[in-house]
């Protein structure tokens, strides 16, 4: 008898899904990192670096969009790889997804209290508990982190609809307030400052490459849209447009921030600023502008945390439904229809991160960024394979460029992976801690794979396709 397949409820609108991808993509990095980028590459190098990086990511997004429209199920990359490359490769893609999203969730969980400590140090930088990797862990920050974890546990527990409403409200506030504030600051800037910031300390080519090497990290997030595909109420075809939209809006935002800083801050002052984006807005809006940007940063971190919490729980659910995790992970709440056990695991990971502190979690985030790019590679390879082997497969959305788009996406994924792994790259992992963490995760995943190998071999392909994709075999019809 065919095993019963758990199915998530349709609850998310197009705006909810876009808010998931865009909210995860924007984050906090634009507040702290763009000053040093302009120093090295110049504002022209920053613009070209993000334009090229956004275009490369867009090719990955195109492949992801086509496959999402064909297979609108949660844990998208895992499902795509299962269909195209088989269960063994699907296991590895699923592992990379689970590790990446949980690590990102843990990083954002500890970042939220740190941002509050930046705003109100007298409140949040008191009563130190202990030190991890040279950074103190404070009691008020731990309490705040735990409260946020329980809040998002509750939001996700009662259903995707509430998650979608909260995520959408936050991203709408960010877009309206952010683009208005930054746009006016850009308009009132000094062209003479922009001209002197045009070129950085590196040669033009090296400057562009230095930005491009880091760009991959800034685009992590659009890949969370396929995790919402199963709960998306509209036509699956629209998922592709939402993926593309999140990448394009993110690119515009990054370029806008870079230009605004270049117009507002003289080149000589950039090295002295820890928060260049906030300082640049303050030139137009005064001290209020500085706090507006920090408020936007808080929204950026919370939306990334929220999307990571949601996506991590859905990936764990999808892997369990496909028999790669314990069955308990695939059980749904009888009233709310939510995967309660994966949601609980996500909350536990969030709370653990708060106790570890920022430095330790940062190692995990950087190390697991490489896993994000690896599952991008799997998605691109799955796209090419299915274009060749199943040309007549139902594709509500067809990516332009055909197989060539997939080839570019593969090359882009490899480039971003090498930019993280090669020691001489500007975006390289830190030796030895982050390389060690990357290798340890690979070893753990390999051990689990060896233990699960008998189950993977014994389970018929038709059963996997039913459980993961909802495809019925001819024998079962």
Task: With cut-offs at 50, 70 and 90, classify the pLDDT of residue 21.
Answer: very high
Give the residue carrying structure tokens 């088989």: 86
- 62-64-69-70 Cα dihedral, nearest 10 degrees: 120
Say what the pLDDT of residue 477 is. 44
Mean pLDDT of the region 435-458: 82
Burial class of residue 15 (count of CB atoms within 10 Å of its CB; 0-12, 13-18, 19+): middle
Dmax of the chain from CA atoms? 74
- 448-454-458-463 Cα dihedral, nearest 10 degrees: 0
pLDDT in tens, 290-318: 999 989 999 999 999 999 999 999 999 99
In the chain, the percentage of residues whose pLDDT exceeds 90 is: 60
Q: Which of 308-322, 384-398, 454-468 has the lowest mean pLDDT?
A: 454-468
Task: With cut-offs at 50, 70 and 90, classify the pLDDT of residue 217.
Answer: confident
Mean pLDDT of the region 463-475: 75
CA distance 89 to 87: 6
Tell me the H-state helices in 120-267. 121-124, 139-157, 160-187, 191-196, 204-218, 237-264
Q: Which of 23-27, 205-209, 407-411, 414-418 has the highest mean pLDDT?
A: 407-411
Which of the pair, 410 or 429, is modelled with greater confidence? 410
- 339-168-370-38 Cα dihedral, nearest 10 degrees: -170
Mean pLDDT of the region 148-173: 96
CA distance 43 to 266: 12
Say what the pLDDT of residue 472 is. 67
Mean pLDDT of the region 378-394: 95
Per-residue pLDDT at 1 exceeds 70: no
Mean pLDDT of the region 115-138: 86
User: Which residues are within 8 A (CB) of 239 and not within 5 positions of it... i.e. 6 or more apart?
Assistant: 17, 65, 68, 69, 72, 225, 226, 229, 232, 397
Structure tokens at 12: 């998310």
Show the CA angle centred on residue 35, arms to residues 33 and 38, nearest 5°.
110
Contact yes or no for 219/54 (Cβ under 8 A)? yes
Per-residue pLDDT at 369 exceeds 90: no
DSSP 429: P
Instruction: Say how many CA atoms lie within 13 Å of 171 toward its Cβ.
Output: 27
> What sign results for the dihedral spanned by CA atoms 150, 156, 162, 165?
positive
Per-residue pLDDT at 456 exceeds 70: yes
Mean pLDDT of the region 98-105: 88
CA distance 355 to 180: 37
Say what the pLDDT of residue 288 is. 92
Contact yes or no for 221/22 (Cβ under 8 A)? yes
Q: Provide the phi-psi class of 108: left if phi over 0, else alpha when psi is between -120 and 50, else beta.
A: alpha
Among the listed residues 67, 72, 111, 130, the one whose alpha carbon sits nearest the alpha carbon of residue 395: 67
Per-residue pLDDT at 83 exceeds 60: yes
CA distance 146 to 235: 37
Q: Which of 44-48, 142-146, 320-324 has the lowest mean pLDDT?
A: 320-324
Q: Which of 42-46, 77-81, 427-431 has the lowest mean pLDDT?
A: 427-431
Q: pTM of the prediction?
A: 0.92
User: Which residues are within 8 A (CB) of 411 and not within 5 positions of it... i.e. 6 or more apart?
Assistant: none
Contact yes or no for 465/471 (Cβ under 8 A)? yes
DSSP 232: B
pLDDT in tens, 164-183: 999 999 999 999 999 999 99
User: Phi, psi at residue 135, to the nearest 5°?
Assistant: -110, 135
Per-residue pLDDT at 476 exceeds 60: no
Task: With cut-offs at 50, 70 and 90, classify the pLDDT of residue 360.
Answer: low
Give the residue carrying structure tokens 């515009």: 252
User: Which residues are within 8 A (CB) of 392 and not within 5 positions of it... i.e. 6 or more apart?
Assistant: none
Mean pLDDT of the region 347-355: 92
Per-residue pLDDT at 352 exceeds 70: yes
CA distance 82 to 466: 11
Omega cis (within 30) before 198: no
Q: Which element (helix H / strand E) includes 137?
A: strand 135-138
Q: Within 10 Å of residue 349's Cβ, how many Cβ atoms?
A: 19
Per-residue pLDDT at 387 exceeds 70: yes
Beta bridge partners of 128: 138
């Amino acid at each position: 008898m065919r095993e019963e397949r758990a199915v998530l409820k349709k609850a998310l609108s197009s705006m909810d899904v876009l808010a998931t991808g865009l909210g995860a993509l924007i984050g906090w990095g634009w507040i702290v990192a763009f000053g040093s980028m302009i120093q090295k590459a110049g504002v022209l190098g920053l613009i070209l670096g993000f334009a090229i990086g956004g275009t490369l990511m867009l090719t990955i997004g195109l492949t992801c969009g086509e496959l999402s429209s064909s297979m609108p199920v949660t844990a998208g990359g895992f499902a795509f790889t299962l269909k195209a490359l088989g269960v063994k490769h699907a296991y590895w893609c699923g592992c990379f997804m689970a590790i990446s999203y949980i690590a990102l969730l843990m990083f954002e969980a500890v970042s939220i209290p740190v941002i509050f400590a930046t705003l109100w140090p007298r409140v949040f930088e008191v009563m130190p508990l202990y030190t991890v990797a040279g950074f103190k862990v404070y009691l008020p920050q731990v309490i705040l982190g735990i409260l946020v974890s329980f809040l998002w546990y509750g939001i996700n527990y009662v259903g995707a609809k509430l998650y979608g409403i909260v995520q959408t409200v936050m991203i709408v506030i960010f877009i309206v307030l952010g683009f208005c504030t930054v746009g006016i600051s850009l308009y009132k800037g000094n062209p003479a400052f922009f001209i002197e910031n045009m070129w950085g300390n590196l040669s033009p080519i090296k400057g562009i490459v230095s930005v491009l090497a880091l760009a991959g990290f800034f685009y992590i997030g659009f890949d969370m849209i396929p995790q919402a595909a199963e709960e998306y109420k509209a036509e699956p075809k629209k998922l592709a447009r939402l993926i593309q939209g999140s990448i394009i809006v993110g690119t515009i935002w990054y370029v806008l921030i870079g230009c605004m800083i270049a117009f507002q801050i003289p080149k000589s002052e950039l090295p002295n600023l820890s928060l260049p984006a906030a300082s640049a807005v303050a030139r137009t809006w005064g001290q209020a502008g500085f706090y507006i940007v920090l408020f936007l940063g808080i929204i950026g971190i919370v939306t990334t945390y929220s999307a990571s919490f949601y996506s991590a729980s859905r990936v764990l659910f999808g892997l369990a439904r496909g028999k790669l995790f314990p069955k308990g992970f695939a059980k749904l709440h009888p009233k709310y229809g939510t995967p309660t056990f994966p949601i609980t695991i996500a909350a536990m990971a969030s709370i653990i991160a708060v106790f570890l502190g920022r430095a330790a979690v940062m190692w995990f985030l950087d190390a697991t960024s490489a896993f994000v790019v690896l599952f991008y590679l799997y998605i691109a390879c799955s796209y090419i394979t299915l274009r060749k082997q199943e040309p007549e497969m139902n594709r509500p959305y067809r990516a332009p460029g055909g197989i060539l788009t997939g080839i570019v996406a593969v090359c882009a994924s490899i480039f971003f992976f090498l930019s993280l792994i090669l020691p001489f790259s500007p975006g390289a992992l830190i030796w030895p801690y982050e390389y060690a963490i990357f290798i340890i995760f690979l070893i753990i995943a390999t051990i689990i794979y060896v233990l699960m190998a008998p189950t993977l071999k014994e389970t018929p392909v038709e059963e996997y396709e039913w459980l993961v994709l909802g495809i019925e075999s001819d024998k079962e019809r």
